[in-house]
Chain A
């Protein structure tokens, strides 16, 4: 093997693998510290997430959200932008979905209502990202800071809207009325039932197809279109992109709109798929989870699908742990998310020097 081949093998496969492994080992240490046998915990976790129909359904349902936010973070990463605002974009995207699904004529066909409600999520998600994008592109304000601020603005806005505008008269809890029936995305178990197969009930719904569709679309867009090329060019080298006739300012706006739109799809799964109404904090944690998913998936749609599935397992398996063991709550997943972000993101080069030294030394220096 030539040195180049070895290097790309180290960077593309070995390093990410070791990073994820380190995050898991660190989690195992946390388990030991709180007096839980990590092997037993892993068994419970995996059985709870994959061992039976219903568990698997939940796993895929959680994974769907992570695909959306993971793709959102990844698209922005390709342009060199760090979109921390997935949390807020998902939240406001849900509002867009809800407005369509609440106020459209109930007599309309689902074939019209569902695409429109999905578009509502895409549009509102993008709108929530466009101001930080504009400020980054044209006023030089750092996108990380502005998207953080926009997360807080989103939650203030949503509380206001839910309490003062969408809440039904006489209701105490801040949530909207039920969506019109035509906007409900069918559950997978119902779809299977209509073909005569019986599977256990779970919140898994057809949003998962939307997630797969958008994964394919993002892949095609990033690697097989002019815009995608421009986005990656800006991310790799701003100056080279300018030299190549690309306007980075425009690209920042386009990228962030796509990123926000993708995050805005969380509402499809949570609201149109499962709850059929808008409520507080339905987005909770998925925006930040998307950062971990994107880092773990190396910003590639295939990697993101795998990482999202893994986080789905953790979410569902974590719920099972919560149920089975006294000493653990499902917040262990949050710890794990933090560790994945730390080891796959912040410390991604941890093993690089040592790997290069032993596996791909520079010729003639030994």
Chain B
């Protein structure tokens, strides 16, 4: 009994860790898409940031410099996306794809040039990483039966970026639904012309949304290489950016629902490793690939409108062309 309980807690704990980059990336996508810019490039930004963060952490010996560098790298890509899709009114999806491919190539080329190994950075020492921190009061609660395990394994003992991820969701909600900027952001994604008529610059708003997205995505990438792992390895995002995109749709562009979707997808990921080779009575062995594919299948079913309906912001993917 206590074994099952401990296993459940550990699976949930693993889900929390997997969830973090998904949260950052999907919140980044939320800002972009709410402003009417589709962001396929989340994956590329995560990857680039993960690489630059690990490189900077190795070079300067501090995870904080890594964090800064990762955020800058991701924001630069976000601005390239903005330049193409806002200023030059190019196809938003095309420039997003470009960013993904560019990031995949650049991380390989730069790692070879800087560290003499393609697609890998040196292993980060402990003082170059974000390490897990014990929350206060651990000794007090630790001996309480169920609560102690939950506190020790699930709530305490994560690194600072994990707590930041969960703290950022209510903040995003507050910004999007309770501030003037958020109101304008939502308006510009639904009806940019109305916003323009009110004398507010559509372009500036969208750039700001993309910049916020760049910063958030950057933190997600930093987490991957300096906190969750201790180095950058080739293609380490492994589709997280696209899962985040799926979570964004699955959560219908609403911060809390998106968080729930991220957690669901992360949980599926965590459980798929544990279910490997285990035969479930009556069903047999579930193929790992099926569990891995579940987030995508669920999102497709939702998109098809068979369970609820995911309606994106009306003006998304459309460049705004001002009438003269």
Residues in chain B near residue A331, CB distance under 8 A:
104-105, 108-109, 112, 118-119
Tell whether B304 is near chain A: CB-to-CB under 8 Å. Answer: yes
Tell whether B84 is near chain A: CB-to-CB under 8 Å. Answer: yes
Q: Is the CB of B303 within 8 A of A146?
A: yes
Q: Is the CB of B85 within 8 A of A159?
A: no
Q: Which of the segments A9-17, A122-130, A147-155 contacts the partner chain? A: A147-155
Residues in chain A near residue B108, CB distance under 8 A:
329, 331, 334
Q: Is the CB of B245 within 8 A of A156?
A: no
Within 8 A of A (CB), among B103-131: 103-106, 108-110, 112-113, 118-119
- Nearest chain A CB to B311 CB, angstrom units: 9
- Nearest chain B CB to A173 CB, angstrom units: 17
- Nearest chain A CB to B314 CB, angstrom units: 13
Residues in chain B near residue A82, CB distance under 8 A:
91, 93-94
Residues in chain B near residue A142, CB distance under 8 A:
303, 312, 317
Known: A152-B239, A156-B289, A342-B84. A288 touches B101 (CB 8 A): yes
Residues in chain A near residue B304, CB distance under 8 A:
135, 139, 141
Render A162-182 as a binary contact track against B, CB cut-off 8 A, 1 for contact: 001000000000000000000
Q: Which of the segments B156-164, B192-200, B291-299 contacts the partner chain? A: B291-299
Q: Which residue of A lies closest to B101 (CB)?
A: A338
Q: Is the CB of B98 within 8 A of A338?
A: yes
- Nearest chain B CB to A71 CB, angstrom units: 18
Residues in chain B near residue A241, CB distance under 8 A:
none
Among B94, B104, B106: residue with most chain A CB under 10 A: B94
Q: Is the CB of B109 within 8 A of A342?
A: no
Q: Is the CB of A334 within 8 A of B98?
A: no
Q: Is the CB of A144 within 8 A of B93?
A: yes
Tell whether A327 is near chain B: CB-to-CB under 8 Å. Answer: yes
Known: A142-B312, A148-B245. A346 touches B91 (CB 8 A): yes
Tell whether B90 is near chain A: CB-to-CB under 8 Å. Answer: yes
Residues in chain A near residue B154, CB distance under 8 A:
none
Tell whether A259 is near chain B: CB-to-CB under 8 Å. Answer: no
Q: Is the CB of B84 within 8 A of A329?
A: no
Q: Is the CB of B305 within 8 A of A140?
A: yes
- Nearest chain B CB to A304 CB, angstrom units: 16
Q: Is the CB of B97 within 8 A of A341?
A: yes
The residue that B94 contacts in the complex, of A152, A295, A337, with Cβ under 8 A, is: A295
Q: Is the CB of B293 within 8 A of A152?
A: yes
Residues in chain B near residue A145, CB distance under 8 A:
245-246, 249, 299, 303
Q: Is the CB of B97 within 8 A of A149?
A: no
Residues in chain A near residue B118, CB distance under 8 A:
329, 331
Count of B residues near A, CB < 8 Å? Answer: 51
Residues in chain A near residue B81, CB distance under 8 A:
346
Q: Is the CB of A327 within 8 A of B113?
A: yes
Tell whether B83 is near chain A: CB-to-CB under 8 Å. Answer: yes
Residues in chain A near residue B113, CB distance under 8 A:
33-35, 327
Known: A30-B109, A331-B108, A335-B102. A342 touches B95 (CB 8 A): yes
Among A33, A337, A347, A348: residue with most chain B CB under 10 A: A347
Q: Which residue of B lies closest to A348 (CB)?
A: B90
Within 8 A of A (CB), among B270-323: 287, 289-290, 292-293, 296-297, 299-300, 303-305, 312, 317
Within 8 A of B (CB), among A323-364: 327-329, 331-339, 341-342, 345-350
Q: Is the CB of A148 within 8 A of B109?
A: no
Tell me the bound Cα distance from A189 to B30 in angstroms. Answer: 54
Q: Is the CB of A288 within 8 A of B245?
A: no
Tell whether B211 is near chain A: CB-to-CB under 8 Å. Answer: no
- Nearest chain B CB to A333 CB, angstrom units: 7
Tell me the bound Cα distance from A283 to B300 in angstroms. Answer: 23
Tell me the bound Cα distance from A34 to B108 in angstroms. Answer: 12
Residues in chain A near residue B93, CB distance under 8 A:
82, 84, 144
The residue that B84 contacts in the complex, of A34, A156, A291, A347, with Cβ under 8 A, is: A347
Tell me the bound Cα distance from A144 to B293 in angstroms. Answer: 18
Tell me the bound Cα distance from A221 to B194 in angstroms. Answer: 43
Q: Is the CB of B109 within 8 A of A329?
A: yes
Tell whether B31 is near chain A: CB-to-CB under 8 Å. Answer: no
Q: Is the CB of B109 within 8 A of A332?
A: yes
The residue that B102 contacts in the complex, of A139, A156, A291, A342, with Cβ under 8 A, is: A342
Tell me the bound Cα distance from A337 to B102 in angstroms. Answer: 7
Q: Which residue of B lies closest to A337 (CB)?
A: B101
Q: Is the CB of B99 within 8 A of A338?
A: yes
Residues in chain A near residue B40, CB distance under 8 A:
84, 144, 148
- Nearest chain B CB to A171 CB, angstrom units: 19
Tell me the bound Cα distance from A335 to B107 in angstroms. Answer: 9
Tell me the bound Cα distance from A333 to B104 in angstroms. Answer: 11
Tell me the bound Cα distance from A337 to B38 in angstroms. Answer: 21
Q: List 21 A-B contacts (CB under 8 A).
A: A82-B94, A135-B300, A145-B246, A148-B245, A156-B296, A159-B289, A291-B94, A331-B105, A331-B118, A334-B101, A335-B102, A337-B101, A338-B102, A339-B98, A341-B95, A342-B84, A342-B98, A345-B97, A346-B94, A347-B88, A347-B90
B-side residues, CB < 8 A to A, are 38, 40, 80-81, 83-85, 88-95, 97-106, 108-110, 112-113, 118-119, 239, 242, 245-246, 249, 287, 289-290, 292-293, 296-297, 299-300, 303-305, 312, 317
A-side residues, CB < 8 A to B, are 30, 33-35, 82, 84, 131, 135, 139-142, 144-146, 148-150, 152-153, 156-157, 159-160, 164, 288, 291-292, 295, 327-329, 331-339, 341-342, 345-350
14 new A-B contacts, CB < 8 A, other than A139-B305, A149-B299, A291-B97, are A30-B109, A84-B93, A131-B300, A145-B249, A148-B242, A152-B242, A295-B94, A327-B112, A334-B101, A335-B106, A338-B106, A341-B94, A346-B84, A346-B90
